[in-house]
Amino acid sequence: MDSHIWFSPSSSTSIVLAMVLALTLTFVHSLTLRSDTEALQALRRSIDPNMIPPSSYISSWDFSADPCDSTGAKFLGILCSNPGDNSTNRIISIELDSAGYDGFLTHNIGNLTELTSLDLSRNQFRGPLPDTLKNLKKLTQISLSGNFFTGGIAGWINGLRNVESIDLSENLLSGPIPPRISELRRLTDISFSNNEFSGRIPDINGLWKLQTLDLGSNMFVGNLPKLPTKLRSLTLSHNQLSGHITSLGSLKELRYIDLSDNKFTGSITRSILSLPELNQLNVSFNQLASIEVNTHLGSGSPLQVLNAQRNRLQGHLPVSLVNFENLQEINLAYNGLTGRVPVAYGQRLGRPWKSLFLDDNFLSGRIPRQFNSSALRISGSLANNCLSCPVTIPICGGGQRPASACIGEIGNH
């Protein structure tokens, strides 16, 4: 009698199918969605393999394993969803290290539709940003700063309806900011600084949650846009913006303002200097003609830094600056200010003024006696004025204007 046990074809087929099905279900439920895995593979392929250091995150992407089932030191920089219903895992976060990756951002990135965070900052990615980024509708944070990306952003940015923070700073991006950016109403932080963006800045007062706006070092022109009332930090430095800055006086939560190196005209108004939260104000390198400070301003103000150097300020030094009890750094150099240095300024030196630059104006007369003190611990300069200011006093170093220049200039100022 044959000792082998035989199964009928039908029963054998059923058992094999059952086993295969069981294994398949187990395998499928542990897998990352195939299109997500393919997007990661495409991202790795888009990077020059010679620019992937052995200890970098990307070098740990071993596709013989499943991205979301991996443990230990595999697939660094990747986070996955953890569904409790045995559905496929999805990639929800890519946060690469700053390893100097040189490559392009693949269009397959748009297949990662569950992605909430994308950080490729401080690398050497280049080329245009793919329009498929608009498919990442669950993205809340995107940081692509410190790369060499080129082209515009209009083709994809409006698709990011849940984005809260966008950092595209330090790239080579160009073109305008699309007006529809104001539809991204969850935004709290925007940084587009150090690019080649141009055109007018659109009105963004509809971004009512926005707290930080940094558009510095671009090529924007035109007047200040309408801005949201909850804004806390505003940087528009190193552009070609013009017009008056009076409208900033209505933004009561501003703590930091940098408008330096533009073409703004008009006044530094009382409404700006009296902003209740303002800590730093930099309006240097513009064409502003006056600074409005009266005796009622300053008390209780948190203002610590005032930089208005290299403008076209006229008139006398504002005595009431001494009322700003937290003010520590003042720079009014390279303007057209005339008259005497107020005696009250001397009483503030070192208490709390730590820095006072009034050089390259047309100030005249004797300096307050406190400036002569050998115990003075303050940085600053009174050089290139028309003062009686001995060069033996450190703050007077550099000398004064010749008398002939002072007579003519004082007459014109």
What does the DSSP assignment read for 237-286? -SSEEEE--GGGGG-TT--EEE--SSEE-SEE-HHHHT-TT--EEE--SS
Q: Would you say residue 219 lies in a domain?
A: no
Q: Would you say residue 358 lies in a domain?
A: yes
Q: Would you say residue 152 lies in a domain?
A: no
Q: Would you say residue 194 lies in a domain?
A: no
Give 174-199 as a DSSP string.
EEPPPGGGGG-TT--EEE--SSEEEE
Q: Would you say residue 366 lies in a domain?
A: yes
Domain with residue 381: its CATH number is: 3.80.10.10
Burial of residue 402 (number of CB atoms within 10 Å: 0-12, 13-18, 19+): exposed
Q: Would you say residue 179 lies in a domain?
A: no
Domain boundaries, position 261: 241-412
The residue behind tokens 């070098």 is 59
Residue 403: pLDDT above 80? yes
Q: Indicate the length of the chain as a whole number.
A: 413
Q: What pLDDT band is residue 374 in, cutting at 50, 70 and 90?
A: low
Q: What pLDDT band is residue 16 in, cutting at 50, 70 and 90?
A: very low
Per-residue pLDDT of 22-80, as tens digits, reads: 433 334 444 899 999 999 999 999 999 999 999 999 999 999 999 998 777 899 999 99
Q: Would you say residue 6 lies in a domain?
A: no
Find, among 173, 289, 269, 275, the residue nearest to 234 by Cα.
275
Per-residue pLDDT of 240-294, as tens digits, reads: 999 999 999 999 999 999 999 999 999 999 999 999 999 999 999 999 999 998 7
Q: Would you say residue 35 lies in a domain?
A: no
Give the Cα separation of 381 and 360 in Å (integer). 9
Which whole number is the average pLDDT over 124-138?
98
Residue 3: pLDDT above 80? no
Number of domains into which the chain is organized? 1
